[in-house]
Amino acid sequence: MINFDNSATTRTFDESANVALHYMLSQYYNPSSAYSVAVESEKDIKRARKRIMSAINADSGSIIYTSGATESNNMAFSGALQSLRAKGRIIIGSTEHPSVYEVANSYAKIGFDVEFASVNADGRIDLDVFRDLLTPNTQFVSIMLVNNEVGAINDIHTLHKYAKQANPQCIFHVDGVQGFLKVPFNANDCDLFSISGHKFNAPKGVGALYVGKDVKFAGGQLGGGQEGGLRSGTTNTPGIMAMDKSIEIYSDSSEEFIQSMQACKLRLAKNMAAIKDTVLNGPPAESGAPHILNISFLGVRSEVLLHALDARGILVATGSACSSHKNSNNRVLDAMNIKGPRQEGAVRFSFSPTNTIDEVDTVSSIIEENVLLLRRYKKR
């Protein structure tokens, strides 16, 4: 099996899975308990919080552990907005993940003024358009660091600066899921930052929300008061500590991992450019995120190609996994004005640090074979 769908999810590193086992079988105590073995777990988790903070260069603020980025993103909205007295403006990017987009729509229904910032042809938020949408009344902004379908990297530093110029009280949330550990980020450029473990070789069902020091934040679910009273529920020690191990592995090999994913991406882009009637979607291959490449094969339906590759043990995506069960147009590609045959033939390839150039070359020749075959069928 060759997995080029790592933006959907990744295989947990063996070392991280072993850490989870340790916290299930041996060190399984509830970190909120008072006896000494449980206090050890609490200390481990405290160290793990610090590692997330240092991965985003945060010297202050806090980490709330969650079940993943969907929860972190939902909580970003509710925690920031629930204590406000008046309903003002919310701005999100037009290409945000459903866990931001659908939440923003739900706030529109209860009276907030929700605006969608458009993107340019590469999939990056247009800075001028964003600036024009800002008002002194803008209470909340949510923008993704890296787009999950085409790998466009947003200029969060400038967007954050503009938002604070318009309203210093505005809370600026970054959905960091696809960028965390893969593109540089500084926590000074946000108030809230979401991550999800399974996107970087940690288990599913664990994630976090970073909250900046001076942010007025009410948190999420109520109950036993865990996570500083901001997100109740017995602490998921195995998941949190396994995620910590994956962050440690990424951080220790950061340069090597990024170069390895980037090399796969550039090789695949070059191989695909040699096939007639292919178009790159998103930023030029050298400038987007190191692990995501989106290519349209004109005259081919991407889901037919996906199944042909699946039959050969190769995993890729059409659109994102989250939207693949819906029969509508792809909202992200629509927003980039990618329509018709170019949208129908769009395939997303996404890499993890364990993919190799040999895999890229194997996949490339199987794709070429299938694309030529499918185009011939279509002409009959």
Q: Which residues are catalytic?
A: 322
Q: Nearer to ligand PMP by C-beta: 95 or 296?
A: 95
Q: To the nearest whole angstrom, how small is the minimum distance from the Cβ of residue 207 to ligand PMP?
A: 6
Angle in degrees, 0-180, between the axes of helices 36-55 and 237-252, rounded to the nearest 10: 40
- Kindly tell me the burial class for residue 238, based on how many C-beta atoms sit within 10 Å of its own C-beta (0-12, 13-18, 19 or more): buried
Strand partners, 172: 141
| 322 contacts ligand PMP (rule: CB under 6 A) | yes
Supply the minimum distance, in Å, between the C-beta of residue 37 and ligand PMP: 31
Q: Among 203, 221, 181, 245, which residue's Cα sits nearest to residue 72?
A: 221
Cβ contact 117:92 at 8 Å: yes
Query: For residues 61 and 319, which CB has a smaller minimum distance to ligand PMP in the complex?
Result: 319
Q: Which of 355, 360, 333 is nearest to 344 (CA)?
A: 333
Judge whether 370 and 314 are in contact, CB under 8 Å.
no
| Cβ nearer to ligand PMP, comparing 320 with 352 | 320
Which residue among 31, 68, 220, 288 contacts ligand PMP (CB under 6 A)? 68
Stretch of 68-76, 84-92, 246-254, 255-263 lying at the interface with ligand PMP (CB under 6 A): 68-76
Among 142, 178, 343, 352, binds ligand PMP (CB under 6 A): 178
49-57, 173-181, 225-233, 248-256 -> range binding ligand PMP (CB under 6 A): 173-181
- Asked if residue 196 binds ligand PMP (CB under 6 A), the reply is yes
Residue type (1 letter), 330: N
332: left (phi over 0), alpha (psi -120 to 50) or beta: alpha
How near is the Cβ of 113 to ligand PMP at its closest, in Å?
A: 23
Residue 130: how many other CB atoms lie within 10 Å:
24
69 binds ligand PMP, rule: CB under 6 A: yes
**C-alpha–C-alpha distance, residues 279 and 273, integer Å:** 8
- Judged by beta carbon, residue 102 or residue 361, the one nearer ligand PMP is 102
Start-to-end CA distance of the chain, whole Å, equals 32
- Decide whether 196 or 296 has the Cβ nearer to ligand PMP: 196
* Per-residue tokens: 105: 């729509």
Alpha-carbon span 148 to 321, nearest angstrom: 10
Residues 6+ away with beta carbon under 8 Å from 99: 69, 70, 73, 74, 175
**142 belongs to the binding site for ligand PMP (CB under 6 A):** no
Residues 6-65 that bind ligand PMP (CB under 6 A): none
Residues 164, 172 contacting (CB under 8 angstroms)? yes
Token pair recorded at residue 168: 């210093």
Q: Does 76 bind ligand PMP (CB under 6 A)?
A: no
Closer residue to ligand PMP (CB): 267 or 291 = 291
Which of 91, 114, 159, 177 touches ligand PMP by CB under 6 A? 177
296 binding ligand PMP? (CB under 6 A):
no
97 binds ligand PMP (CB under 6 A): yes
Stretch that binds ligand PMP, among 69-77, 183-191, 222-230, 292-300 (CB under 6 A): 69-77
Phi, psi of 179 (to 5 degrees): -105, -25
Of residues 154 and 167, the one with the C-beta less far from ligand PMP: 154
Taking CB under 6 A as the rule, does residue 144 contact ligand PMP? yes
**In the complex, what is the shortest distance from the CB of residue 70 to ligand PMP, in angstroms, rounded to a whole number?**
3
| Residue 148 in contact with ligand PMP, rule: CB under 6 A | yes
- Give me the residues that bind ligand PMP (CB under 6 A), please: 68-70, 73, 97, 99, 144, 148, 175, 177-178, 196, 198, 320, 322
